[in-house]
Structure 1
Amino acid sequence: MEENLSLHERSWWGFRSINFLSDDYLYEDLISQIFLRLPVKSLLRFRSISKSIYHMIENPNFIRMHTFQSRKRVIFRHRHLDELVEKDFEDFFTSHSEDELPLDGSLSKYTGIPVLKFPVSGFDIDIVGSCNGILCLFGSRTGISLWNPSIKRKLTLPYYPSWLDTNKSCKTAVGFGYEQITHDYKVLTITSPVSRQDTQSRHSILVYSTNLGSWNEIAPPRTCFTHVISRACFIHGALHWVVKHYQDQSDKTGHLFILTFDLSTRVFGKILLPEPNYETRHLAIINGSLAVISTQNELNLIRVNERVQ
């Protein structure tokens, strides 16, 4: 029934669903609970059953609940080197369910797991964020795209404007998250000078709203920082980055802290790193809490901040 839905079956589902949704809330809730357990491909087909079913499936709350109930998947990035010719090959990605994780390092566990094919091509395409099953892809030549691999849909964002575009010594960091109040997916870019000696140039910060379909420039944070160190980490409605700030050109070490941006209030914030912070270059989410990953003498130290809400 999932693969080929006959006309009789379509009529039965359509008739019953219309009656259920219009006559009794109990039936409406029952239908919703049934549909929450269906795969995405089936839901896309069932949208044509009736207007009631269509609006239920397209409802942001239904999409959010379906995402939370769906089987979680983990994406691995593979990077390999041909030692004979000392040449890097193009990275590739694979998607795994939690019971497919090859934690023992055995290559045999990858048998039958296809390579994740991105809808855009480029030597430097990378996943810079993910939220509710949607991946944010970024490449220096292809720009920014939002892609849902479950339904094979892609949204290519318009080129992000910046007054720093002509400066080749700048670098752009990208963050991606979901704003629950307005049901809006947002992308934030921070363009900063690469050189740590350039402590005077301001940052160019832009926010893209999928609801509005456009970029808007916002004022940089009052908290000074030189450049972004880590990838963005989205948790509790806010984006988080590890950033470094140099006081002046004589400052050889600089200091690290976490820069935050609340997608609802559009306000930047600052979180001090736990001491000793060593060399912190990565953030992660562990059991719903923000975690920092530091390195000291080739030893990785992971600390979880359960108080960040």
Structure 2
Amino acid sequence: MAGFGSWFRKPAPEESSQTIVKAQIPQAETAVRDFIVGFKDRTNLHYVLIFPVVHRVAVKLFVEDFGVEVALRQYQTLVSSLTSDGTIREDQFRNFTWPEVAPDDAPRTKELDELLWRLVRELVGQGLLKEAIANALLNTAIQASAKMDGLISAGFILTVLKELRDGVHTPPPEVRPEAARGTDEVTALIFNHMRDMAYLLKDRLGLEWQHLLPGMQSTSVICCIKYRGRDGALALFQDQVQKLAPILDQCPRNPPQQLPLTKLHLTNISTFNDAFRKLADDSLKNSDIHPLRVAHALSMLTMELASKHYDMNYLSSIVSSCCTDIEQGKYNFVAKTH
């Protein structure tokens, strides 16, 4: 099987996006190949178990970028191209499934999935589009598995298609946090706007919530200082820490992962923090919006995201760190304005 280039095209009139994708695929393929070879050398996991993981990550990226219906149509087109000359028929693979993973290999396939997603996030953070990364994963899996066995390579693609038809890769509806019941309408609107921007930036920058939540809390502190002053803000957040302390031992534990913090991560975190602070500043330019509302919305959002993805101990540590920063003068540049 030859290289496939970009199989997936967005139904958009801007050809420039496809030019970008085409230019990015070789870079992504190099990163993917190096990763797979390195993982194989280190773990000795057989390629027949590696490539199913690669295929599943690729199809999930396609679904995230295009939606299930478009991904399904494009995989059908891909399968049609493989079966067009009659050498390979779809009905030959009716009983073909992913290879069984032995108990001894299960931890390594799980590790592969986690590390491959980490690579995807890093590539997204470098500015590569999901479409380019997904094509790189698909191309690599098809070409390398074809060298191993052309029928197995075709079987993997057909298995993905069957799973798409069966709804295996249809994501559940995304449930984003909502403002607490009883929140006034203006604060709820600010909450929703900040929440949606946070999700958008997180996706574009390839970061995790643990990278973003401290900056969101910091923005809340700045807004709080603008209407309470530094001493008032410090007292407020110290009170929050004290109220959390008695319940921490009873709360479920789900601490953040120990993720690497590269120079790229730091750059993207800084980009997020700057964008989020600007969003808050832009909101405050509206004379009808008091800093109290923005601070309240951000505090709620930070609490909801921290408790949804991690635990209350992590939330307490974020708020406690802000208290220390206030005491050490890191917010002395913020003046009381209201």
| Larger radius of gyration between Structure 1 and Structure 2 | 2
Structure ranking higher in strand proportion:
1
TM-score (norm 1): 0.24
Structure (1 or 2) with the greater helix fraction: 2
